[in-house]
Structure formats: structure tokens, C-alpha cells
Amino acid sequence: MRITVFHNSNTKSVHTAADLIAKLKRAGFLVVKNNPEIVITVGGDGTLLSAFHEYAHMLDRVRFIGVHTGHLGFYTDWRDYELDELVASLKGDGSEQIISYPLLDVGVRYAGDNSVTHYLALNESTLKRVSATMVTDVYIRDELFESFRGDGLCISTPTGSTAYNKSIGGAVLHPRLEAIQLAEIASINNRVFRTLSAPVVIAPDEWIDLYPDPKGKDDYVMTVDRFVPKKRLITAIRYRIAKQRISFAGYRHTHFWNRVEDAFIGEKQHG
Ligand code: NAP
């Protein structure tokens, strides 16, 4: 089995990754940089996000495993002191559980280009305007839904719902749901301008189109997870659930709501 170990630059992650590589080699695994079957990330959810983009071109052949060196994450199941168990689970009888989650397809039309440029997001994509109000028509399934005015809009996957989406008041979605969510970033609502002012979750066979107002197009910023694609004039963006999915190997059943509780609520008392 060909395995890549992908880590962030924090000292604990560097040491844990070196340890893991030694254990994997001792157990007879091939530790490689190219064409891995399994990518093990060591760090946090952000590290897994980076690894996802590094290997996004081969999602049909690669599975991910997240080892966390900080707090329990949403994409990271294993702790840094459980490396022996992790290696043993990889040597198992092949009956390991593989779980996969939906991704967001971001189809962008740039001015002067007839083709559509596609990006894949694991967490979310945002469209924002920094210097002035963003004005964007929002269509759902080709019907005008609203004309948005405000700082921006965030379209997230179920697994991304606990990230930026949650900070702006979006709902937390169970990752087994096949859906994408649209959440507003500081919308303007007054006598003149009106938006729904609530997060929207659309069905698997629906899509969302944004048409940024041509007047502000040159200072709109589009993000895809932690990346900002090279700036060009955007005329339209279509968001829908991607055909590809992300797969996790050696998945351990931490109940999703336990993760949410652990990450955001922590210690509490009954009643
Ligand atoms: P980052 O430092 O990699 O991530 C920011 C924080 O978000 C970290 O604590 C990270 O956890 C956590 N995170 C990442 N994915 C998550 C998920 N699916 N569920 C819950 N928490 C998650 O920051 P970055 O490189 O700028 O961007 C990475 C992500 O950060 C973006 O995709 C976006 O979702 C999020 N972000 C959030 C805000 C906000 O909440 N205001 C602003 C910008 C970006 P770890 O510590 O485990 O890595």
C-alpha cells in the first residue's frame, strides 16, 4: 500500500509525522510522495484541507486519514499517541470502514472566457466585496431568489458547516446529508433592500447561481476553502454538489454530534 504522510510545520506535527513514517516503513508500507492510495495528514483540520487540495485531482483513487496534534477535529480522528493502533488498523483484513462525504463544485464564468472554470471545495466557497457593499443576484434552480446586498455570501458543504458557515450563523448539518448551504455575511436589510436573512439549505438536485453586479466586479474576492484563486473579473458562479466525494479510510465512529459538542460546547452541567 502506497502511503503519503502530509503534515503542517508545527514542531509536534513534524515529530509525529517522522514517528509515523518510521512505523509505517517498519510495518512494510511504501511511504511515497506521488500517487498515494492513502494520505495521512498530521496536524489539524486545516492540514487536511491543504492535503485535500494537493490530491484533489485523484479523489477516485485516494483515501484520507487525519491524525490531530491539537484538539479533536472534524476531519481528524486519530490522536498523535495512537500511531501504533493506526498502523495496525491499516494492516487489517481489508474490512475497514470507508466513509465518504459530499464536496462543493464551484463553476466560475470569467469575463472574456466562454468556458467554465471549476474548483472543488471541501469546506466552503465565499464571494465577498471588501471595499464597498457587495450587490449580487442570487438564483436558485434558475429562478431569481433575491438580490443580495451586504459583505458577502458563503456556500458550504455539510462537513464545512462547522467552519466559516457556523461563524456567520449558518446551521450545522450532519455530514451524511447530501446538501449545500447558503449563508449570508452581514446582509443589509431595511425599507429598500431585503434578503431572506436566514441560512438556506438546498436539495441535492438544485444549484445556486450568483451574478455579481458588473459595477463592483473588479474588487470582488472569491475564496475556495483556504485559497483565493487568481483574481479575474467574475461574471457568474454556479454552486452545486460535486460529482466527486472525499473518502476517509480507517474511519472511527466518533458520533458527529459528540464532535460538535466537544469542539463548541465542552464542559457542562446537567439542568
Ligand atoms: P485555518 O487556520 O486553517 O482554520 C481556521 C479554523 O477553522 C481552525 O481552527 C481550523 O481547525 C478550523 N476548521 C477548518 N475546517 C473546519 C471544519 N470543517 N469544521 C470546524 N472547524 C474547522 O484557517 P484558513 O487557512 O484561513 O482557512 C481554513 C478554513 O478556516 C476555511 O475553510 C474556513 O472554513 C475557516 N475560516 C473560518 C473563519 C471564521 O470562522 N470567521 C474565517 C476564515 C476561515 P484546526 O485548528 O483543526 O486546523
131-162 pLDDT, tens digit per residue, is 899 999 999 999 999 999 999 999 999 999 99
pLDDT for position 77: 85
CA-based radius of gyration for the chain:
20
Ligand 1 mutation pick, 6, 42, 123, max ligand atoms within 8 A of CB: 123
Check if the beta carbon of residue 109 is closer than 8 Å to that of residue 119: no
Instruction: Give 163 Cα–ligand 1 centroid separation in angstroms.
Output: 5
Quote the CA–CA distance of 57 and 166 in Å, as a whole number: 28
Q: Is 165 annotated as a binding residue?
A: yes
Give me the architecture of the 1-95+250-263 domain, per CATH: 3-Layer(aba) Sandwich (3.40)
Q: Is 271 annotated as a binding residue?
A: no
63-98 pLDDT, tens digit per residue, is 999 999 988 789 998 999 999 999 998 987 666 678
Q: Is the CB of 44 under 6 A from ligand 1?
A: yes
CATH number of 102-242: 2.60.200.30
Quote the CA–CA distance of 38 and 32 in Å, as a whole number: 10
Q: Catalytic annotation on 262?
A: no
212-238 pLDDT, tens digit per residue, is 988 866 789 999 999 999 888 999 999
Closest atom, ligand 1, to C-alpha of 47? 48
Domains of the chain by residue range = 1-95+250-263, 102-242
93-108 pLDDT, tens digit per residue, is 666 678 899 999 999 9
Q: Is 231 annotated as a binding residue?
A: no
pTM of the model: 0.95
Q: Is the CB of 228 under 6 A from ligand 1?
A: no
Indicate which residue of 19, 45, 213, 218 is catalytic. Answer: 45
